[in-house]
Amino acid sequence: MLALTSIWTTILLAAAVALGPLATDMYLPALPQIGSDLNASTGDVQLTLSFYLAGFAMAQLFCGPLADCFGRKPIMIAGFFIFALASIGCARATDVDSLMLFRFLQALGGSAGPVLGRAAVRDIYTPQQSARIMAILASIMALAPALAPTIGGVMVTHLGWASIFYVLAGYALAMMAIVAIGIPEPMCPEYRQPLRPTSLLKNYRLIGSDISFLGYTLTNSLMYSSLFAFISGSSFVLIDFLGVSPQHFGLYFAFVVAGYIVGNLLAVRLGKRLLPDQILLRGILLATAGGIVMASLALAEVYSVWAVMLPQAVILCGTGMVLPQTMAGALANFPRMAGSASSLFGFAQMTIAAGSGALVGYLHNGTSLVMALVIALSTLAALASYVLLVQRFPAPGFEVEARV
């Protein structure tokens, strides 16, 4: 097996965490076609995304505590297996309601990768090292959403949308084998927690009452909700409204993901000379500026592909700087219950993001306006959360006194 601190272990953890983005991004170009084939409305098809996030959020509340009791590897392997079975169900769905159900079940298994990948990084590294490793991990993981829509667009054009879910099932089974064989158990045996309802509630109460945890988690969740608003609305805006072909959709999506990778790499580089708080502030301000520009263009009825994609690339650059810092900050105070802290963190992130995606689908007016406004408001709310909570209550051991 690989050493825990090996770069190859980080790459394998990134591949495990990437299952979540793959499950959303690969089938984005297929959403209009799914709606047509299953006789479903735009709102109903977008609900398959929100159902996935809802299942993802709920599963994380149990996934982390189970991993704190039994270890990271067994729960991750079981999650991949459930994900693979549900993906086959998605491929064979004959109506949008059954697709929603299987997407929900898919999320129950898919939550294991991201939750336990974050927890494993906290198991292996110190809080400040975790921020840098998570940025590296995010840079590697970003290859998935960069390539997935392009691959999905080609597959839906030539093989049909069901083929996407068969590929996801194969990926999950491959990761199940790789994790079982290639990665050692990262959790220290002495950190294992008892699996009792009273202990679970006690841990969640302890974590949820930590004001620095709440600040980092809310800031991250609001920033992630701006990303999910784009994920939820981009295929309908670009393909249906602006006339981009499904095959070319992935190329545009890769362009904005490149902004996220640049943000991750900036976070890694700046981490050598700046405090996490300083990187976080720069990222939020950059993302907020991009959100305001996108919303302003939409309000002025400037409707073009680049009026959406250029501001979104800027937003994702800022997001790439923000997410690793807030993930590491949220888990910094909980080395003995990193799985539970990661679960509660992920639950909040996915719940807020699911609401953002559902809002875009419910209010969609056939243009880019609703998506742009939800994105801008999310970044502004993330900035407010940072100022009111993170700067005032930084995590001890992760931040020193916050600076503007």
Question: In three state form, how does the secondary structure of 225-267 look?
Answer: HHHHHHHHHHHHHHHHHCCCCHHHHHHHHHHHHHHHHHHHHHH
Pick from 14-18, 51-55, 106-110, 361-365 the range whose average pLDDT is largest.
106-110
Domain assignment present for residue 2? The answer is no
Q: Which two tokens stand for residue 11?
A: 């790459």
C-alpha angle with apex 350: 349 to 355, nearest 5 degrees? Answer: 105
3-state secondary structure of 360: helix
> Residue 140: what pLDDT?
62
| Confidence band for 258, pLDDT divided at 50, 70 and 90 | confident
The string over 242-270, giving b where at least 16 C-beta atoms fall within 10 Å of a residue's C-beta and e elsewhere, is: bebebbbbbebbbbbbbbbbbbbbbbbeb
Domain count, the chain: 1
Domain that holds residue 160: 7-390
Instruction: For residues 68 and 11, give the distance between their C-alpha atoms in angstroms, rounded to a whole number.
Output: 23
Confidence of residue 145 (pLDDT cuts 50, 70, 90): low
Asked if residue 116 has pLDDT above 80, the reply is no
Q: Rounded CA gap, 375 and 166, in Å?
A: 32
Q: Is residue 57 part of a domain?
A: yes
Separate counts of helices (H) and strands (E) for the chain:
17, 0
* pLDDT value at residue 141: 62
Given a cut of 80, is residue 8 above it in pLDDT?
no
Query: What is the reported pLDDT for 157?
Result: 86
Residue-wise pLDDT for 156-169, tens only, equals 888 999 999 999 99
Q: What is the mean pLDDT of residues 79-100?
A: 94
**CA 399/CA 23 separation, integer angstroms:** 34
Instruction: Kindly give, in sequence order, each residue whose CB lies less than 8 Å from that of residue 272, ignoring residues fewer than 6 positions away.
Output: none
Helices within 7-126 (DSSP H only): 7-17, 19-25, 31-37, 42-70, 72-91, 96-110, 112-124
Q: Are 252 and 305 in contact (CB under 8 A)?
A: yes
96 in a structural domain: yes
Kindly provide the residue ranges of all beta strands, DSSP E only, lying in 100-185, ordered along the sequence: none
What's the mean pLDDT in 291-295? Answer: 97
Per-residue pLDDT band at 138 (split at 50, 70, 90): low
The number of beta carbons lying within 10 Å of the beta carbon of residue 393 is 17
Q: What is the mean pLDDT of residues 260-287?
A: 88
pLDDT at 5: 64
Averaged pLDDT, 12-38: 84
Neighbours of 282 (CB within 10 A): 18
In a domain, 224, yes or no: yes
Examine residue 188 and state whether it is found in any structural domain, yes or no.
yes
Percent of the chain at pLDDT > 70 equals 92
Whether 404 maps to a domain, the answer reads: no
Query: Which amino acid, 328?
Result: A
The Cα–Cα gap between 283 and 343 comes to: 24
Residue 279 to residue 270: CA distance in whole angstroms: 7
In the structure, what pLDDT confidence band is assigned to residue 9 with cuts at 50, 70 and 90? confident
User: Is residue 397 domain-resident?
Assistant: no
More confident call, 339 vs 260: 260
CA–CA dist 120, 127 (Å, integer): 12
- Residue 315: pLDDT over 80: yes
For the domain that residue 379 is a member of, what is the CATH number? 1.20.1250.20
pLDDT at 389 over 90: yes
Going by C-alpha positions, the residue among 390, 402, 353 that lies closest to residue 57 is 353
Name the residue with higher pLDDT: 261 or 85: 85
pLDDT recorded at residue 128: 63
Is residue 402 situated within a structural domain? no
pLDDT band at residue 183 using 50, 70 and 90 as cut-offs:
confident
Q: How far apart are CA 21 and CA 110, in angstroms?
A: 10
Give pLDDT tens digits for 343-353.
Answer: 788 889 888 98
Average pLDDT, the chain: 85
399 three-state secondary structure: strand
Please tell me the predicted confidence (pLDDT) of residue 49. Answer: 83
Positive/negative CA dihedral, 54, 56, 60, 63: positive
Question: Model's pTM, two decimal places?
Answer: 0.75
Confidence of residue 404 (pLDDT cuts 50, 70, 90): very low
Q: Which helix or strand (DSSP H or E) is residue 128 part of?
A: helix 127-141
